[in-house]
Structure 1
Amino acid sequence: MEVKIGVQHAPREISIESAQSAAEVEKAVADALSGNAKLLSLEDEHGRKVLIPADRLAYVEIGEPAARRVGFGAAL
């Protein structure tokens, strides 16, 4: 699942490929914005965690699940 996160006062967005489902990402964002969590915590498909202060979130874009690409010329 591709997730793009805009952070206030940051010139670039954060883009990660997450193994989490869209519902899990949406719940994490909702918890962070409602004040239940001070950080938005997401895990990428390699097991690395991305932590963003909830009060600095500008937007979160949840994309489609990424198709598995195989080979040298597997461009979509």
Structure 2
Amino acid sequence: MEVKIGVQHAPREIVLESDLSAEELESIVTAALSGTAPLLSLTDNKGRKVLVPSDRLSYVDLGEPSVRKVGFGAL
């Protein structure tokens, strides 16, 4: 699943692919926003860990990964 994270005072968003389900990601984000967890901690498909302070989150967008189109066939 594709995750986009907006951080306050940062010009670019953080984009990563995660193997977690939408429900698992939503519970992690909810814990960070409610103050239960001081950091939003996510690990992507390649093992890269992303830590964002909860008080600096602007938005978190959970969406399906976009499928690449390969070849020259008709659409």
Fold equivalence (TM over 0.5): yes
Contact 1:2 1:17 in 2 (8 A): yes
1:46 CA displacement: 1.0
What is the count of residue pairs matched by the alignment? Answer: 71
> Contact conserved, 1:39 with 1:54, CA < 8 A, in 2?
yes
Residue 18 of structure 2 is matched in structure 1 by 18
Work out which of the two has the higher radius of gyration on C-alpha atoms and give 1 or 2: 2
Alignment RMSD (CA, Å): 1.7
Q: Which residue of 2 aligns with 1:62?
A: 62
Per-residue CA deviation, residues 11-66 of structure 1 (Å, 9 max, x unaligned), is 00000011111111111100001111000011100122110000000000000145
Q: 3-state SS of the aligned residue for 1:20? A: coil
Structure 2 spans left out of the alignment, 5+ residues = none
Residues in 2 aligned to 1:26 and 1:47: alpha-carbon distance in whole angstroms = 20
Identical counterparts, % of pairs: 65
Cα distance in structure 2, aligned partners of 1:10 and 1:47: 23
Q: Distance in 2 between matches of 1:3 and 1:36?
A: 21
Pairs within 5 Å for 1:1-76: 1-65=1-65, 67=67, 74=70
1:63 aligned partner, one-letter code? G
Unpaired runs of 5+ residues, structure 1, are none
User: Could you tell me the TM-score, scaled by structure 1's length?
Assistant: 0.84
